[in-house]
Structure 1
Amino acid sequence: MSKRAKIILIGIVLLFIGALVWFGKKNAKGIVAFETETPFRVTIIKKTVATGKVIPLEEIEIKPQITGIIDKVVLLEGSKVNKGDLIAVVRVVPNEQSLISAKGRVDNAKLRVNNAAVSYKRSKSLFDKGVIASAEYEGVELAYAQSKQDLENAENDYLIIKIGSAGSGGAANTNIIAQMSGTILEIPVKEGDQVIQSNNFNAGTTIASIADMSKMIFEGKVDESEVGKLVKGTDIEVSIGAIEGKKFLAKLNFIAPKGTEEGGAVQFKIKADVSLEDKFFIRAGYSANADIILVKKDSVLALKEGLLRFDKETEEPYVEVETSEGVFEKRIVKLGTSDGVNVEVLEGVVAKDKIKIWNKASKDDEKKD
């Protein structure tokens, strides 16, 4: 073999060896070291948050007993009132047609009274002389009494249409007074506004709303998936948006028996009595959130949810437990309550097991899943 041929052969051999080394390094896999973590004992609390608002427990609307014009507003919104305090005064503006009609009925009743009086005097004179029978006299006397009563009724109707009331009761109808002690939340009318009385066909105009601000409740809604876990009497915490960093204790006292559909989900109304503190003034209608404990389990064996994997075929949760150094075994686990960070483990692992902390997933890990 010539010298040139040997050089070419040696070059080919070196090139082949170099290629083998390069492919070997390229395909070589480093040893992946996994850290481990053991199960631990912890108290798991599962909560739900109900959004809503804080409102007074007792709130009423004051409506007029007559139709008229607001003549005077005595108090302002936010004023403290006692039962019986004057809030506003209504001035009666009678309907002209009704007033004329009522006046006509009064005049007609007076004519009948005058006629009945003449008949009564004549019959009485004849009865005293023994000319007519007792039965005839008593009929005339009754007709006279009825005519006087009809006149009184017509005059009362006329006064009610004209001034809002008959006799001394006028002020009782035109004066709008507080029906309970509390705080005036709203006066939606002003002087000069026309108001309508409450009757069977009309709710009437609201002149003022009054509430007892010392008794407040939280009113909110929860989803149908969680309402079944609520229990009356449960202690909850209410956070008010306008008061940062403060949570008020409350007690759940009402869970609606019927839900309403909102945005494709059924919501159920709840109410809770809020325990107030004197240094905080809670206004009616403040938006609030309530933290409600659905499940609380003390000192249960738990794992961090990040340690779990789920089988792609069966969707069962599992972890990998270290059986010897660097060697892990797949274990199916049965889970209980979760708070979103930790999850209760019912079966599959014990407190001393070392569970793999998953590093960034490799292709092999994904295939294994």
Structure 2
Amino acid sequence: MNWPDLPCLAAVSSALATAVILAACHPGPDAAGTAAAASAPAAGPSASGAAIGVSTVSARQQDVAVTLSATGAVTPLSSVEVRPQVTSVIDKVHIREGQFVKAGDLLFTLDSRTNEALVAQAQAQVAKDQATLADAQRQLQRSRELLAQNFISQGQVDANQAAVDSAAALVQADRAALSAARVALSYAKVTAPSAGRVGTINVYAGTAVQANTTPLLTITQLQPIAIAFSLPQRHLADALGALPGGGAQVSANLPDGGATRQGRLKFVDNQVDSASGTVKVKAVFDNDDGKLWPGAFVTVNMTARTLRDAVVVPQASIIQGSRGDIVYVVQNGQAAARPVQVAYSQGDDAVVSGVKAGERIVLEGRQNLRPGATVVERSHEGNSAVAASGAQSKASAP
């Protein structure tokens, strides 16, 4: 740059500054309009009274099954611990662990030589006393004949009669002792008291066992089988009422995702647990495939009762307030607050009283409503179709 050009630059800068000042003092029409729009208050629905868009669903009337969910435990209908009834030694084991047995099947054989000897001794005693009785009866018969001929006195006949009666009583006692000996001998064969699956066998051949003390094994019934769980006290009347008709229907689901099992409620305990406010119940299930195993935990669902012709609305439409629950009902294009009472809720639905079947209930947009507000209603069921058609229109637009 040449120093002689400096006066020209100063002149140009002065001219530009003058132009900026004039533009600020005299704004154009576009700038004035923009400033006015920015300074004006925003107009909303509350200020202008515009309608509020909401989605609605119809309150429907239907039968609703009151279903209770709980965690239950599989329990056998019977589980018997087998013990010997005599003190002896195991002679032979006739079954294996895990085997299924029927009632009366032979499980163990005990050493029975001592009891066999006792039975033989009792039989011999019976035979001896029967011979004594027979002799006493012959003596009585002869004494009666001699009495008829006046060769002996009546007292002799009475003495012979007493001997016969004593011998007869002794024979009866011997027979009772023989029966007892035979019962003790029968204990040498240990049989299954019920049908079921054999558990762990605790003894082997040669093991000494004590009467009514040594556990031999446990037999557990698996078919049918029971599931025990607890019901809230408020459903006690429903459970008791269902028992005479075969029991309420109960379904069970195993944790491994197996098929749902169907059973029936068969037992209700005779008292309510004061600590938990629940009552213990049992349901019986078929277990042909043996999937229900004693001690396993399952998820139980029981149909306590059925609410006939109940009015059902979505739970999401219910607004909880300090004065109770309400829903908004659309009437003549306006929102009306309707108090409701929830009788039962399950999943996304709730059974309520206070609304009628067919009334339009506000589902989405209820947070913006006030009683009497004007609404623009759209069906919640048709939202997906409306959205799809709108997307198609946008896709076809240039």
Counting only pairs closer than 5 Å after superposition, residues 73-112 of structure 1 correspond to structure 2 as 73-90=93-110
Tell me which of 313, 318, 321 is aligned to 1:303.
313
**In structure 2, do the counterparts of structure 1 residues 172 and 242 end up closer, same or farther at CA, with 3 Å as the change threshold?**
farther
Amino acid at match of 2:360: K
2:12 matched to which residue of 1? none
Give the CA deviation at 1:342: 2.0
Alpha-carbon separation, structure 1, partners of 2:232 and 2:207: 43
Q: Is the contact made by 2:93 and 2:109 (CA closer than 8 Å) also made in structure 1?
A: yes
- Give yes or no for the alignment of 1:354 onto 2:363: no
| 1:144-163 equivalent positions in 2, closer than 5 A | none
Counterpart among 212, 219, 235 of residue 210 in structure 1:
219
Aligned partners of 1:337 and 1:171: how far apart in 2?
A: 64
Per the alignment, residue 330 of structure 2 pairs with 322
Contact 1:44/1:337 (<8 A) preserved: no
Number of residues paired by the alignment?
278
Mark the CA change 1:354 to 1:24 in structure 2 (over 3 Å): closer, same or farther: farther
Report deviation, 1:15.
7.0
- 1:268 maps to 279
> Could you tell me whether the CA contact under 8 Å between 2:224 and 2:287 is conserved in 1?
no
Q: In 2, distance between residues paired with 1:283 and 1:329?
A: 53
- Amino acid of the residue matched to residue 65 of structure 2? I
Whose Rg is larger?
2
SS in 2 for 1:22: helix
Q: Is the 8 A contact 1:90 1:174 kept in 2?
A: yes
1:289 to 299, 303, 306: 299
- Is residue 33 of structure 1 aligned with residue 53 of structure 2? yes
State the Cα RMSD in Å: 4.0
The structure richer in helix per residue is 2
Asked if 1:234 is matched to 2:216, the reply is no
**Structure 2: unaligned runs, 5 residues or longer:** 1-17, 113-176, 374-398
Contact 2:230–2:280 (Cα < 8 Å) also in 1: yes
Distance (Å, rounded) in 2 between the aligned partners of 1:24 and 1:72: 105
Q: Deviations over 1:292-318 (max 9, x none)?
A: 11231233222111111122x31x111
Q: Which residue of 2 aligns with 1:43?
A: 63
% identical equivalent positions: 17
Q: Specify whether residues 284 and 171 from structure 1 end up closer, same or farther in structure 2 by C-alpha distance, changes over 3 A only.
A: farther
Q: Which amino acid aligns with 2:196?
A: T
Alpha-carbon distance, 1:269 to partner: 1.8
SS at match of 2:193: coil
In the alignment, is the contact (CA less than 8 A) between 2:317 and 2:327 conserved in 1? yes
User: What letter corresponds to residue 279 of structure 2 in structure 1?
Assistant: F
Whether the 8 Å contact between 1:184 and 1:208 is mirrored in structure 2 is no
CA distance in 2, matches of 1:354, 1:240: 37
Give the TM-score normalised by structure 1.
0.61
Q: Please give the secondary structure, in 2, of the residue aligned with 1:33.
A: strand
CA distance, structure 2, for counterparts of residue 185 and residue 266 of structure 1: 37
Secondary structure of 2:53's partner?
Answer: coil
Q: SS at the partner of 2:186?
A: helix
* Equivalent in the alignment of 1:201: none
Q: Using the alignment, how far apart are the partners of 1:184 and 1:277 within structure 2?
A: 13
Check if 1:184 corresponds to 2:194.
Answer: no
- For the residues of structure 1 that align with 2:79 and 2:193, how far apart are their CA atoms? 11
Q: Please, which moves more after superposition, 44-53 or 27-36?
A: 27-36
TM-superposed CA distance for 1:6, in Å, is 6.8
